[in-house]
A and B are shown apart, each in its own frame.
Chain A
């Protein structure tokens, strides 16, 4: 699997955020969830966004994931300003550019693993056969070749998260956005999932990890800490090496 195609604007970072603000009005109060955040993320980075609850990390993730639009400031994804986009365009950007991984997996309970992975491809209008082939391929890559037709309630937590990861990757997004991906898993399974994310990053995918656990953030190569809607620190680090046995032995598929 290759990473996303090169940015249209040469030399521009994948993500370029300038003085980003998000203000929620709750009754008479204004809540400044983001109070002037600026940052760049380049293609292929592995970034952890950290901070206590209320620090604005969820809001930042929502904005980066195009689920939410900022009140002011600029967010450019691959050179495109997101703030000016219509609802349907945002939906398409989420579909093509963002792969979400959630703490609670968010699989459709009545659909089997294969169909869950196919879902983003349905919304991009991919023909059924290609959908199935790609979903199968991705499930094999996350080590679930023999679980394609299991429903979520027939899978363990770790397996469910693997399905979700396959789903996040199936449309070859620019960014994989993982929100507390190990929050609902035991620590051993959590380690496996983190190893899988490291492997995905190793193949050239940009991974942004939102977490409040130092242990988890330690897997990233860069840690951005937020407090009260502002960046408190932003530094590179040597990632903790992934446990090699946890990585599925399937080779990366050429695409």
Chain B
């Protein structure tokens, strides 16, 4: 008459029944169930969304911003500044000059090209047409090699333009179409800061990066730039490596040359900034790492709050269904049956929240992909992990209510109205 250990068949019969009960309960309390699992929805949605967006940004940054394969080292007055104090300290440094750029060009053996540039955002005009916030950049020759520029019309600025400080310009496609909607830009003139420049070339369109147009640009000779805006500006020097030379070695050589050129004493830090695509990648990764950490914190809070809400609602359900619990006990349900029943219900409930979260997260990621240039992509692992965690929350926070249900005295439970 006493029971043997439960068989596998009994176990699965019970699970089937439990699933049915749990789905019935959710169906009977739709609104309450949805509200209960909001925490889980938010948590799962955040994970999927953030993973999708960051992954999208990763791809984007890798392809567009870092322009891998350029093999260049950037040198400027500030370098990669991430806080105020460092900025104030760097402001005291001496400006980088054209003389230093020339020195790099002559003394470096590992560099195939050294270009010095300076830029500002200005208003440009041609006749009645006007364009604001155009990047006007003064440059030495060879910029097309360090920055991936191509002309579709006319020609690039060449060394003789630069040496003779000619008032000529190569314009971005956006500037060309805005200033010369109906005529060939080549041979036309444009006005910047009261000076006239002759258009000798039009650049091939590059499109947008992070919503920033890359074609809203006017390139002119460094000498002409100085004539327009004064020479007292620090230059940005871009060094392109010889083919096959590792970037670190180029960086080291540039540092040695520049330190001797600027007479930086031994043991003193550089008084200039030197960086490569790798530097930006490292900064970028520390940034996205921060976003990830923030997301994990948000998700953890959502899950704990969500779990407590689920626990609460399960306690309510146990109270509401005290009579049902008593009845099931009278009909032969063991403690483990009732623990299983209410645990399943908590898990089904929180998984339900997880599924809603997956749907919301995917919709949001697709929305971002549709309205921004970010190629947000849904990562299957993020869906699986967040669903798994959401279900575990139900399992964890369901234990207490389920234990309460299992321990109810069947007589008291049956008597309850």
A123 to B3, CA, bound (A): 12
Which chain B residue has the least Cβ–Cβ distance from A171? Answer: B332
> Are A88 and B334 in touch, CB under 8 angstroms?
yes
Known: A127-B9, A127-B13. A92 touches B332 (CB 8 A): yes
> Are A123 and B331 in touch, CB under 8 angstroms?
yes
> Are A89 and B3 in touch, CB under 8 angstroms?
yes
Contact of A125 among B9, B324, B331 (CB under 8 A): B9
Chain A residues near B333: list those with CB within 8 A: 91, 123
Whole-angstrom distance between the Cβ of A171 and the nearest chain B Cβ: 8
Contact of A128 among B13, B323, B329, B331 (CB under 8 A): B13
> Are B1 and A96 in touch, CB under 8 angstroms?
yes
> Are B9 and A92 in touch, CB under 8 angstroms?
no
The total of Cβ contacts below 8 Å across the A-B interface reads 86
> Are B323 and A106 in touch, CB under 8 angstroms?
yes
Chain A to chain B: the 5 pairs with minimum beta-carbon distance, closest first: A95-B332, A125-B10, A92-B3, A123-B332, A91-B334
> Are B334 and A108 in touch, CB under 8 angstroms?
no
Contact of A100 among B3, B13, B331 (CB under 8 A): B331
For the A-B complex with A91-B337, A95-B332, A123-B328 known, give 13 more contacts whose Cβ atoms are closer than 8 Å: A62-B411, A77-B1, A85-B2, A89-B3, A91-B329, A94-B329, A94-B331, A102-B414, A106-B330, A108-B324, A120-B332, A125-B10, A171-B332
Q: Is A21 interfacial (CB 8 A cutoff)?
A: no
Which chain B residue has the least Cβ–Cβ distance from A95? Answer: B332
> Are B336 and A88 in touch, CB under 8 angstroms?
yes
Q: Is B14 interfacial (CB 8 A cutoff)?
A: yes
Contact of A106 among B1, B6, B16, B327 (CB under 8 A): B327
Q: Is B7 interfacial (CB 8 A cutoff)?
A: yes
- By a beta-carbon cutoff of 8 Å, the part of chain A in contact with chain B is 62, 65, 67-68, 77-78, 80, 85, 87-89, 91-98, 100, 102, 106, 108, 110-111, 119-120, 122-128, 167, 171
Chain A residues near B16: list those with CB within 8 A: 128
Chain B residues near A78: list those with CB within 8 A: 1
Which chain B residue has the least Cβ–Cβ distance from A119? Answer: B331
In this complex, the interface size class of chain B, counting residues with CB under 8 Å from chain A, is 20 to 34
A74 to B410, CA, bound (A): 21
Chain A residues near B336: list those with CB within 8 A: 88
> Are A88 and B411 in touch, CB under 8 angstroms?
no
A204 to B235, CA, bound (A): 107
> Are B327 and A92 in touch, CB under 8 angstroms?
no
A88 to B335, CA, bound (A): 7
Chain B residues near A123: list those with CB within 8 A: 14, 328, 331-334, 337
Chain A residues near B10: list those with CB within 8 A: 124-125
Known: A89-B3, A92-B2, A96-B1. A122 touches B14 (CB 8 A): yes
Q: Is B17 interfacial (CB 8 A cutoff)?
A: yes
Central interface residue in A80, A123, A126, by most chain B CB within 10 Å: A123
> Are B28 and A95 in touch, CB under 8 angstroms?
no
Known: A67-B410, A106-B323, A106-B414. A122 touches B2 (CB 8 A): no
> Are B332 and A125 in touch, CB under 8 angstroms?
no
Contact of B17 among A62, A77, A106, A122 (CB under 8 A): A122
> Are A100 and B1 in touch, CB under 8 angstroms?
no
A190 to B17, CA, bound (A): 33
A68 to B411, CA, bound (A): 7
A123 to B6, CA, bound (A): 10
Whole-angstrom distance between the Cβ of B128 and the nearest chain A Cβ: 77
Q: Is B67 interfacial (CB 8 A cutoff)?
A: no
A96 to B2, CA, bound (A): 10
Chain A residues near B261: list those with CB within 8 A: none
Interface residues of B in 367-415 (CB under 8 A from A): 410-411, 414
Which chain B residue has the least Cβ–Cβ distance from A115? Answer: B20
Q: Is B278 interfacial (CB 8 A cutoff)?
A: no
> Are A110 and B24 in touch, CB under 8 angstroms?
yes
Central interface residue in B3, B17, B337, by most chain A CB within 10 Å: B3
Whole-angstrom distance between the Cβ of B4 and the nearest chain A Cβ: 9
> Are A80 and B1 in touch, CB under 8 angstroms?
yes
A93 to B334, CA, bound (A): 11
A92 to B330, CA, bound (A): 10
> Are A95 and B411 in touch, CB under 8 angstroms?
no
Chain B residues near A120: list those with CB within 8 A: 331-332
Which chain B residue has the least Cβ–Cβ distance from A85? Answer: B2
> Are A110 and B28 in touch, CB under 8 angstroms?
yes
Whole-angstrom distance between the Cβ of A145 and the nearest chain B Cβ: 23
Central interface residue in B14, B328, B331, by most chain A CB within 10 Å: B331
Chain A residues near B1: list those with CB within 8 A: 77-78, 80, 92-93, 96-97
Chain A residues near B7: list those with CB within 8 A: 125
* Interface mask (B329-347 → A, CB under 8 Å = 1, otherwise 0): 1111111110000000000
> Are A125 and B13 in touch, CB under 8 angstroms?
yes
Which chain A residue has the least Cβ–Cβ distance from B332? Answer: A95
Chain B residues near A106: list those with CB within 8 A: 323, 327, 330, 414
> Are B332 and A87 in touch, CB under 8 angstroms?
no
> Are A100 and B334 in touch, CB under 8 angstroms?
no
> Are A87 and B334 in touch, CB under 8 angstroms?
yes
> Are A91 and B324 in touch, CB under 8 angstroms?
no
Whole-angstrom distance between the Cβ of B7 and the nearest chain A Cβ: 6
